[in-house]
Amino acid sequence: MTDIFHDNRIVWTLDAGGTNMVFSALQGGREIAGPFTYPTPSDDLDACLKTIIKGFREVEKCIPGKAAAISFAFPGPADYKKGIIGDLPNFKAFTDGVALGPMMEDQFHLPVFINNDGNLFAYGEALCGFLPELNAKILSRRGIKQFHNLIGLTLGTGFGCGVVINNTLLIGDNSNDTGIHNTLNKFNPDWNAEESVSTRALQRVYAQASGQPFSGRITPKDIFDIARGNLPGNKEAAIEAYRQFGEALGSSIANILTLIDGIVVIGGGIAGAWQLFAPAMFNEINRPYKRWDGTSAKRLDVKVYNLEDESIFTEFATGNIRELKVPFSNRTITYDERARVGIGLSKLGASRAIALGAYAYALQQLQ
């Protein structure tokens, strides 16, 4: 795999969110232009496409040489390999297929690589952020276990997910590799998971719990500040909104951990409310199942640690190391018998991780 921090190629990147578009250019894994942020005109296709071109023109003016590629995150459903964006629930302007990648190739005469934000967030955190930092921290505490798999979750306008296994980004045959937003919703089987893990979920529950009409103008940050007593409003309703969010998120995480054995890192705007949603999230993950006869069963075969809790990190890092004698031999072997994973917060921030993931993905595709 290319060492992105010793690669001189320049790649332009974009993190296209439902609220903002963030443009930058990277060289050697470091930002050399931007970030430039523009509001997302998500209901107007012509304005949205012109904003994308404008943002990259701004990047182009600031870089010292020719770019090798354009690589960016854009929501799905999509055929990312062909650069075609489908009907987007959070970008109402995109309907009936939009050839975004080919348009960018015609405009800038560069190779264009598009993927979803969850994938690129996970890729950036696995190669350059949370995973290598966690493994180094484990060794510093004299642990012997190292983690090689990562699940990246983005919490914002929608609910995104990406999976990296042994430094390889999981890419599905239909660009639908980690559609966690369409998994089952714990609270309502007629909804998908995103209806309870998203900005609109917080807005809905706050309105219901406070007896007010639904408002799309109140933001997750507003609800957080109300819950913390820093803004006027219904404090109990705000706390309940984040509690339900955490419970729904925990259910989705528990389900994906039954399939992917790895570390979970969370990013995105709503991740900043960790203190409000994390307790309910961990309660749900650690909730036992009931068998038909009423006896309890573990929901997961691994122990799940809160990696933001420094008081238990040494326990997580060191596990339970044992020396075993090899039968019929004078040899001994050391192993860590505690099966465990952990959940923590991105330290890079979603936009930075996505930019690094986009950079690494482009270099990989150009090889």
Question: Residue 168 domain-assigned?
Answer: yes
- What domain range is 167 assigned to? 130-347
C-alpha gyration radius of the chain: 22
Give the global pTM. 0.91
Total of domains in the chain: 2
Res. 89 pLDDT band, cuts 50 70 90: confident
Choice among 48-62, 110-124, 177-191, 338-352 with the minimum mean pLDDT: 177-191
In a domain, 151, yes or no: yes
Residues 227-240: pLDDT tens digits? 999 999 999 999 99
- Would you state the pLDDT for residue 1? 57
Residue 90 has pLDDT above 90, yes or no: no
Domain-embedded: residue 321: yes
* 360 plus 338 within the same structural domain: no
Residue 157: burial class (beta carbons within 10 Å; 0-12, 13-18, 19+): buried
To which H or E segment does residue 96 belong? none
Q: Is residue 170 assigned to a domain?
A: yes
pLDDT in tens, 53-64: 999 999 999 998
> What is the β-pairing status of strands 303-306 and 340-345?
parallel
Residue 82 placed within a domain: yes
- The pLDDT of 184-192, averaged and rounded, is 95
| Cα 325 from chain centre | 42
Task: Please report whether residue 123 resides in a domain.
Answer: no
Quick one: 171 and 252 in the same domain? yes
122 within a domain of the structure (yes/no): no
Residue (of 55, 60, 72) closest to 111 by Cα position: 72
Q: Which of 361, 358, 362, 367 shows the shortest CA–CA distance to 15?
A: 358
The answer to whether position 141 is within a domain reads yes
pLDDT for the residue 61? 93
User: Has residue 161 got a pLDDT over 70?
Assistant: yes
